[in-house]
């Protein structure tokens, strides 16, 4: 026997609650995305790098996780090849250069 009428009704209520729940989550996600885009446009941030980050970010994470898994968690795998070492150095320079410029500007401006 398939079950009593109350079991069928309880299952239907749970299914409806799940659908409402996921619709609410989806609408909140869309609303938050719209708010983020609005704020980024108001602050005059370019949209292309953000879209690239959303698209390429998960792929980059997966590949980095795969490389670290194959190397048993050893980060030196990113420095063993010339191209990957150059990319690591360029990334580090990109992040450190503005701070170094500010440091040198403060140091030279003092009497």
pLDDT in tens, 45-93: 888 888 888 889 999 999 999 999 999 989 888 888 899 899 999 999 9
Q: What is the pLDDT of residue 65?
A: 93
Q: What radius of gyration, in Å, describes the C-alpha atoms of the chain?
A: 25
Q: What is the pLDDT of residue 32?
A: 83
Residue 33 has pLDDT above 60, yes or no: yes
Is residue 62 located within the same domain as residue 26?
Answer: no
Is residue 17 located within the same domain as residue 32?
Answer: yes
Is residue 5 located within the same domain as residue 19?
Answer: yes
Cα–Cα dist 85/1, whole Å: 66
Which residues form the domain of 97? 79-111
Is residue 56 located within the same domain as residue 91?
Answer: no
Q: How many domains does the chain have?
A: 3
Query: Model pTM?
Result: 0.50
């Amino acid at each position: 026997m398939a079950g009593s009428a109350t079991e069928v009704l309880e299952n239907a209520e749970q299914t409806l609650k799940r659908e409402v729940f996921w619709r609410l989550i989806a609408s909140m996600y869309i609303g938050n995305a719209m708010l983020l885009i609005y704020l980024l446009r108001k602050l005059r941030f370019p949209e292309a790098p953000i879209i690239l980050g959303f698209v390429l970010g998960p792929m980059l994470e997966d590949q980095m996780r795969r490389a670290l898994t194959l190397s048993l968690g050893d980060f030196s795998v990113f420095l063993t090849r010339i191209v990957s070492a150059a990319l690591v150095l360029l990334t580090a320079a990109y992040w450190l250069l503005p701070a170094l410029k500010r440091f040198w500007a403060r140091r030279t401006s003092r009497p």
